Amino acid sequence: MIIYIADPMDFLGQEKETKQLWVKLPSGGYLIAERLEMEQYKVVDILSTDPMDYMNEKYYPGAILDVKI
């Protein structure tokens, strides 16, 4: 058996700063999005226990959302 693990020394010099937005969904779950431009976010992940959150056609990983503040 071969087990591949990441070398912890590789992570020391890499500090990736991402601007993520966590949006609380009505079901209690969260939608995690990453900022692309001033008013655009890309959906990264959905954290929810409600299956209907994953079935929503607007919120899927990779979708681009226009957010007007």
Question: Who's near 48: CB < 8 A, 6+ residues apart?
Answer: 25, 27, 28, 29, 30, 54
- Work out the average pLDDT over 14-26: 78
Extents of the domains making up the chain: 17-66
- Work out the average pLDDT over 8-15: 69
Residue 16 has pLDDT above 70, yes or no: no
Hey, which bits of the chain come out as E strands?
20-24, 30-35, 40-47, 64-66
